[in-house]
Amino acid sequence: MNDFMPLEGWDHVELWVGNAKQAAFFYENALGFTRTAYAGPETGVRDRASYVVEQGDIRLVLTSGLRGNNEVSEFTCRHGDGVKDIGLQVPSAAEAYRQAVQRGARGIAEPQWVEDEHGKVELAAIGTYGEVIHTFVNREEYAGPYLPGYRSVSENGHLSPGVGLKALDHVVGNVELGRMNHWVGFYERVFGMTNIVHFGDDQIQTEYSALMSKVMSDGSGKIKFPINEPAEGKRKSQIEEYLEFNGGPGVQHIAMQSEDIVRTVEAMKERGIAFLDTPETYYEEVQGRVGEINEDYDDLERLRILADRDEDGYLLQIFTKTAQDRPTVFFEVIERHGATTFGEGNFKALFESIEREQALRGNL
């Protein structure tokens, strides 16, 4: 079968935020990113300011509106700070757009070429869950810092040593009750992805609430989009809490790979990042469950890093607390040793940790 939607990799994740100037400071100083490009009034953009920050192969764009009657300001009013765009590199944005729309995707921006003195980039965009979009980016003929209209700032700013984050691993969406399979179908039909993991509500059942999750992956395994939906439980599902505060579906977390998670987590903690805690009982049984690993289990326990296994290998994970006052977006650090999917043990541990935070917020 020919691959009608070849994805070359992640291009960027753009967050629309209330104050991009201060957000950029957080991403640089707390998460170890380096500021590389800027667009705003000084570069001829009248309605918004955007800061590009990078670490390893990860590129994030932080944008805020400059006036109230602006789509960015209106988005942050409805959702708080959140992910607007998950950008994907493709060989042809026009072909990706044509294939996607033909398969039922909602067109957001028709294919167009934009250019400046560094070359040209081809862009197109389609809608996914909530107000999130996927921009298709073909940047083969572009040598500039990000996109035409952006000014490089890296030669002036200090280069951050970073915390060892290397690449995006997956980006997770939360959708409404009964809608998970709709979006699973969307990623199957529009992107030709397959469902590689499925956790039912019988598996992800914490004391009070439940949820269901399916992980969609492209053929290469580079791009993974897990989709969660709430399930009936004794009390309000944590996915319901997200949907209430986000004002609908959206991105729950962004997972980034490290090749040395112990060092990365130590560096992030030193910079003030707060992680979800994991109970002592997890560490009493983890070694028996996961078996031999290269890392020292004492380091994992000290830093509250989770370990799990699938049929191909093991993985280490940890989750930050939410990155803004609304209980919505947070980050994950993941280190994979052969494992290509996710383990059920960590899934459950994550949702139990979130539930403890949810109770502290009075939303359980």
Q: Tell me which residues touch Fe ion (CB under 5 A).
A: 255, 332
Contact 216, 243 (CB under 8 A): no
Residue closest to 131 by CA, chosen among 242, 16, 228:
16
Rounded least distance, CB 317 to Fe ion, Å: 7
For Fe ion, the closer of residues 24 and 339 by Cβ is 339
By three-state DSSP, how is residue 281 classified? Answer: helix
Sheet holding 151-152, edge to edge: 106-116, 119-127, 133-138, 82-89, 9-16, 58-65, 48-55, 34-39, 151-152
Q: Which residues contact 56 (CB under 8 A, 6 or more apart)?
A: 162, 165, 166, 167
Distances (CA, A) of 286 to 203, 298, 308, 345: 18, 11, 8, 9
For Fe ion, the closer of residues 144 and 226 by Cβ is 226
Rounded least distance, CB 255 to Fe ion, Å: 4
Rounded least distance, CB 253 to Fe ion, Å: 6
For Fe ion, the closer of residues 332 and 357 by Cβ is 332
Dihedral over Cα of 339, 14, 9, 57: its sign = negative
d(CA 66, CA 298): 48
For Fe ion, the closer of residues 37 and 223 by Cβ is 223
Rounded least distance, CB 350 to Fe ion, Å: 7
d(CA 68, CA 65): 7
Rounded least distance, CB 169 to Fe ion, Å: 7
Rounded least distance, CB 252 to Fe ion, Å: 8
CA geometry: angle at 163 spanning 262 and 257, to 5°?
Answer: 70
For Fe ion, the closer of residues 81 and 332 by Cβ is 332
For Fe ion, the closer of residues 241 and 332 by Cβ is 332
